[in-house]
Amino acid sequence: MRLKKLLFIGITLLLLFIGAETTLRISFFIKRGFTLGPIAAYLNDETLGYRPNPGFCLSTFRFNDQGFRGAPVSGDRPFTIICIGSSTTFGSNIRESETYPFQLETTLQAAGYDLRVINAGVSGYSSRHLRLRHEKVLERSSPDLVLINSCWNTGIPVEKYYKNDHWPTYFLFQHSFLFRGLDSKLRNHGLSLHYKTWPPLQVQLDNVRSRLTSDKVLDSYLSDIRFIVEKNRTAGARTVFLYPPSLIYTDSLPQVMEQLKDTDLGDRDTLFYQMRLKRIKIRERSFDTVTADTVLDDLIVLDLNPKFESMSLLERERLFDDPNHPNADGNRIIARIISEKLIDFELLHK
């Protein structure tokens, strides 16, 4: 009798779960379109910490079966460009069609070039992530030209995306709208089973400072870039190193706070601006480290900053979502600069 009661309760709970899950999926279908694919953008990975979840397609972005942002790569093209990097390549908080890799492909195809551009950017990746992933990226894409955009995250360690990847909760988190929603609610109270808790701004600032002052971090960064470039050479692909633009072009904290006081970023804590200035300095030191290296003397370097630096702060603000992430219009300018330089440098032929 007791066994039957427990079985009844179990079946009832299962039916309630299925009913709630079905309701959520119908609601999602009405708002954004139906999906049977993965609902978690990333998977924990023993080597990379985390990686794109192939087949993910929700909200404003998707990963194809090869783990690249965008539609499935189909059909042969005479020429392939692949863009590797972090969130500035991936396209933070913007649609697929607004990223600079997508707009670069559109621009070059409109100019008469029969090619494709693949977006292999992953938000949060450092040069070490790119290095660990690069051989598979080359194998999956067979590029003729590789564009590296990796200056902002220098020194970020390889860590898992989710703090827990144990069965069965991790499986439910990856596949159930209901369970994921409940876990997100728990996150507001610091009780999430899977989401990591962001450290306080002061801790983040201290971390950035330690990376900025560490020669070991920059040596490791240079080693990663050398590795990627050499792998490209072996695969018969040329390499272009991009120096990404920034909203801010000053080292002075008072100037930054004065310049941004009337913008959407004007109400942030002082620690926020200090951290941003340190990250800008990391970007600069990373770029200087690569361009000063004699081993990479044949590396093609493309500085995207002059166009942006010549603008007023008000003009730049319209092109950025935050100090280091260009919006759709900012990426349109980036794509135009890159396309013009690739044509001028005659890099679009095998």
pLDDT digits (tens, 9 = 90+) for 49-101: 999 999 998 767 899 999 999 988 877 789 999 999 999 999 988 999 999 99
Which pair of tokens denotes residue 233?
């050479």
Collect all residues with Cβ–Cβ distance below 8 Å to 174 and sequence separation of at least 6. Answer: 38, 39, 40, 43, 53
pLDDT grade for 274, boundaries at 50, 70 and 90: confident
DSSP labels, 305-340: HHHHHTS-HHHHHTTEEETTEE-HHHHHHHHHHHHH
pLDDT digits (tens, 9 = 90+) for 196-254: 887 887 888 888 889 988 899 999 999 999 999 999 999 999 999 999 999 989 888 88
Q: Which of 29-43, 65-79, 89-103, 306-320 has the lowest mean pLDDT?
A: 29-43
Q: Angle at the Cα of 139 (from 237 to 170), degrees rounded to 5?
A: 135
Q: How far apart are CA 30 and CA 47, in angstroms?
A: 38
Look at residue 57 in the predicted model and tell me its pLDDT: 85
Evaluate if residue 34 carries a pLDDT over 70: no
